[in-house]
Amino acid sequence: MKRFALACLAIVASVAPPAGVRAVTNESVAHNVPYVIGFHPMHSSQAPYLGRLHLNFNHGIVSGTYTDLSTKPGSPFANAHNIPVTGNISGSQIMLDIRHVTFRGTVEGDKMQGSATIRGGIYVFAAQKGTPGSGR
């Protein structure tokens, strides 16, 4: 999983957090925080599916939207645009629900990583705070 997280973060290496956005916690209130997320089947070397999250954090409650950025076919969220995201954060643990798929993981600074069960298979994910192609 660590190797996937590093590979996924390399894909979104041009992503940078917007100025003034700090790490989120269950005590935080932050609105419209952008993340780029990549995920693929565990133990797979295929390129990850990519998406953009815009998340709101309000004292442990997470809400927001997900938009599919994948160019490869087969994404479980293919062509999705601004679909609802709900979840929660407690300490370093985060849970995000996107179209009844639950992503569970940890947050460390500007990064998230963890896993989800999609179509009966375990997928691993990594997310980086920022916007795609920002170059910062």
Query: pLDDT above 70 covers what percent of the chain?
Result: 78
The position carrying tokens 């940078």 is 16
- pTM for this entry: 0.80
**Model pLDDT for residues 82-91, shown as the tens digit of each residue:** 999 999 999 9
SS3 8: helix
Distance, in Å, from the CA atom of 16 to the CA atom of 25, rounded to the nearest integer, reads 19
Report CA 102 to chain centroid distance, whole Å: 11
Per-residue CA distances from 97 to 15, 53, 71, 115, 135 (Å): 23, 12, 22, 12, 29
* Average predicted confidence (pLDDT) for the chain: 84
Per-residue CA distances from 40 to 24, 49, 93, 114, 136 (Å): 25, 6, 20, 11, 25
Which amino acid is located at 90 in the chain? Answer: S
Asked which of 10-19, 29-38, 41-50, 52-61 is least confident by mean pLDDT, the reply is 10-19
Q: Where exactly are the structural domains of the chain? A: 2-12+27-129
Classified by CATH at the fold level, domain 2-12+27-129 comes out as Lipocalin (2.40.128)
SS3 4: helix
Q: Say yes or no to pLDDT of 25 above 60.
A: no
The two tokens of residue 52 are: 């953009």
End-to-end Cα spacing for the chain: 26
